[in-house]
Every structure is written in C-alpha cells, then in structure tokens.
Amino acid sequence: MSFVDTLRQWDEAVTHVERQDLSGALEIFLSIQEPNSKISFDIGCLHLINQDLDAAEKAFDCSIRKDEHLAIAFFQRGITFYRKKRYEESSGDFQHAFKKLRGNQLIDYKALGLRYKLYACDVLHNMALAEAQLDNWEKAQEYLVKALDCKTEAKLNIIDQALQSTLKQKTFKLVEFPSKVLFKPNKHYVAELEKKDYLGKAKVVASVVPQDDFSGFAPLQPQTEDGPTRPKEPEVLRALEGEPHTVLFEFIPETSEELAVVPGNIVFVLQKGTDNWATVVFNDRRGLVPYNYLEPLEISSKSKQNEGIRRPPSRKPPTRPERRTGKQGPTLSENRNEDRKHKDAQPTDNSYIVKVHHTFTFAISLPPEFLFDMLLEKISKKLNLPSTAVTLSLSSEADEQSVISAKTEMESVWSHANGRWITLWCHTKKQTDEKPDEIRFMALHSYESSNPEDLSFHQGDTITLLCRVNQDWLEGQCNGHIGIFPASFVEEVPVNVTDKQK
C-alpha cells in the first residue's frame, strides 16, 4: 500500500471517529496493511473503548515496536495492563513512559497530530497506583511525593488526595487517556491528496514535429535542430541555503527543537554536529534531525528527469543519537534552560525584590532609590491595612534590633540582602499585642521539593504553623526556613507535649 493510500484511509478513519462511527473507523484502520506507530496507537485506543483489552495490548505492542520513543504508547499500554490486573507490567510501562519524558514536566503531542499533553505528574500518579495494588505502599508514597515536585495547579488536589489514600492504605483513581483523542495525519499532506485540474486536457493544434498527433501533456519535443539538448539547471536550486539531503526514515520529534520529516522529503543541511545531529531547513522551518536518517542528494536536471522520487528504504531506521554538548557548544534547549535560570535568579530590571512573610508570603518590587515610607505604603496596601498597623522586621521576632522604622537607614537594611533580594517579616498590631499560642506539627514523612515556595523537612521534624493556605496545604517554619507543605505529611502536636519537649 502506497503512502498516499495509507494517508487517505487514515484521514477517513479519523473522520469516522469524529462522527461517532467507531466501528466504521476501526474497520478502516484494520484494512491498512502496514500501519505506522501512530496508526497502531489509534487502533489500540479504539480497542480500549470497545473493552477488547487483548487486541488493544497487541496494537500498543505494534506502536511501541515501531517507535520505542513514543511515551504515550507506553502510558496507554500501562493502562491496558492495569485494566487486565497485570499490575507489575502496568508499573513497568508507566516507568518506561516516565523515562521517555527525559526529565521534562510534559510532552505536548500537538505538533505530531495528537491534541494531548502527557504530564509527568500523571505518569507518576499511575506508577504509584500500580505499586499500591501490589501492596508496595511506601513505594507508592515515594512516587506521589515525586509527583508533587512536577505538579501543575490543576492537578494538585488529585495528587494530594492520592497521598491521603496511601496513608490509609487505600487505592485511588487511575488517570486515564481520553481514548477518542487520536493521532491525525499531517493536514498539509491531506490537503495535497486531491489535486485540482484547472487546465483540463491539452490538445495539439499545430506542431512542426512530423506525425505529432498526441493529445495531452507530454515531454517537450525539440522544435529546432540546433536547440539545447537539455534544459539548464534551475537557478533556484543553486540558490538554496545548505546541502540537499534525502530523508530515508520517518523521524518523530520529541522536543520543540526537532523537526518532523518522512521518507522522501528533501531537506537542506545547514550544519552537522559532532553528536550526529544536523540542523536542517524543510518547508521554511528549521530544526534538528539525526544525520544518519539522511543521505546526500545531488540535484541536477538529469537526476530530476530520469530518477523521479526515490522509494523510501524498507530497512529499520537507525537508533536515535544522543544529544550532548560538543565543540559547537550547548544545544538550544540547554541554552534556553540556562537563560531561564539566569532570569529566575535576578530581577528583570534594576528594581529590588522584597519577599514579605505575613500570614501568607508575597513579594513586591521597588526602585533602587526606594525609601522606608514607599516600602511601608506598598506592603500596607497589599494587606489592605493602615500603615500605622504594620511593623516590619529583619527576623521573625520583632525585637528592637530587627525592627525597621522611619529612623532606620535603608542602606543598613539592604546590607542583609542576597544580591537584589531581601526577606522581611511583617507583623500587624494585633499580632504584636496579642500573640496567640503557637501551633506545631510533627512530620510523619520526609518532604523534599525543588520549588522555592515549598518547605522541605525530614520525618520527625517539628514545624511551626504560620497559616493555613487551604484544607490541603499549610505554611510553616522549620529549621529557619519558611514555605508551604502538604497537610497530609504532618500531625498536630498538643501544646503540652511541645512544652515538655522544651
């Protein structure tokens, strides 16, 4: 079956799914003789909808066999194994999917024709569930704690509820992929399926070539004896930037810097790296493609006339080369990460950043020449309190040495800063006059987080409560650090117990 025929049937099957004709779509999909990895994935999804788990497993096997880097296929096969109660294999597939994320928070498959984002926290959530089904509760909690490090705001409650369930040794809900969301063929390829004939059939009216009664289009016949025997090489081909290469194998990108190509495409190599990755141009787009997926192409009028389009090779594509930093310097993603880290570490302009601890934590920015009155006005406006009710200090205890007032020289205050950042404590009048009893918690489990706003602690640590963010998250102080942490990780300690410990 030709690539065009496969593309046409693939598009037709997806159209049937959009019309809710799932049986018709599956019939078309199964008639494709050599389905690629994406089509096999679509077939597996339709089998999952029909509860045909054995057929779904085989389809996802085929998808992974043809593209071992497709994380979403491992994720779907893991769900299939989970439904078949084969929890060890399910956990293994979820772990494979997590490795394919390569440390990223998510993979957005939109560029590959699938409107879905695979989140690392969802994969870890399902890994924890599979381990919970195997009674490996500590392992399940470990995965969920790791999921908190790469959480998104929308998924925070789901992970926290799962954590609470594991503490009670109860299972929780599986995060499932919407099976009606399928890989779609490239819309540009689909648009080229049906070519319109604007000219119709040509008919020869007069010709200087004897016995030329051909009706239709044909290669031009020489009209004079001394005319050129072959056309000149088109100037546009010589003007193109880069060296032309033919694509030998289908390449599916895994990052935004990589470029999707299929066998038969002609790309122009701008630069070849020492790590076997090449920077190429294709359809006015620039990106990275493995150089061992390409073959140099000599563009000439003879080759274009006589050879035609080369058939893609039938052998298996080579392994994907490792991305590393060579003589060319860091990769695009590494450069972007370094830039992002640099931006996060410094304010975007010459302003000073003040982090303020109150019943909640917030940050404000001030110009370099800021005065105490300006600082106090901004903070009181943020708290919606009069400035007379606000007291600022350099430490959590508002004593004479740490309190900041209008008489304080701001240069001495800024000497406590780290770069252009400084941390202050804010006390309202009610807080300083009527200090409530401290509420303390004991850590039931260790909590480690890479997020700067979170509070890390070890099992057995004592944490002082500063405020309750919501029913699932608290803000506290431990070992001189302040941040938020999950409420399910701690247990409140009675006041008399903490007094005895003192």
Exposure of 239 in the CB half-sphere (CA atoms within 13 A):
3
Angle at 443 between CA 441 and CA 444, to 5 degrees: 120
pTM over 0.75: no
Closest CA to 36 of 258, 269, 310, 260: 260
Structural domains present in the chain: 3-167 (1.25.40.10), 234-309 (2.30.30.40), 352-433 (3.10.20.90), 440-501 (2.30.30.40)
pLDDT tens for each residue of the chain, 502 residues long: 677 788 888 989 999 998 889 999 999 999 998 899 999 999 999 999 999 999 999 999 999 998 888 999 999 999 999 999 999 999 999 999 999 888 888 888 888 888 898 999 999 999 999 999 999 998 998 898 888 877 666 666 788 888 888 888 889 999 998 878 899 988 777 666 655 444 555 544 544 444 544 444 444 444 444 444 444 444 344 334 678 888 888 887 777 678 888 888 888 898 887 778 888 888 767 888 898 889 888 654 444 444 444 444 545 566 666 655 443 344 444 444 444 444 444 444 556 777 777 766 677 777 766 677 888 888 888 777 788 888 888 887 777 778 888 777 777 777 777 666 778 888 876 544 444 567 899 998 888 876 666 788 888 899 998 877 777 788 888 888 888 888 888 888 876 544 545 4
pLDDT for the residue 438: 77
Contacts 24+ apart (CB under 8 A), 208-217: none
The C-alpha atoms of residue 298 and residue 245 are separated, in whole angstroms, by 8
The pLDDT value recorded for residue 233 is: 41
Question: What is the residue whose two structure tokens read 């274009």?
Answer: 304
User: DSSP code of 312?
Assistant: P
The size of the chain, in residues, is 502
User: In angstroms, rounded to a whole number, what is the distance separating the alpha carbons of residues 398 and 448?
Assistant: 30
**What integer pLDDT is reported at residue 216 of this predicted model?**
45
* pLDDT value of residue 452: 63
Measured in Å, how far apart are the chain's first and last C-alpha atoms?
80
CA distance 282 to 246: 11
Q: For residue 202, with 0-12 CB atoms within 10 Å meaning exposed, 13-18 middle and 19 or more buried, which class applies?
A: exposed
Number of H helices and E strands in the chain, helices first, is 17, 17
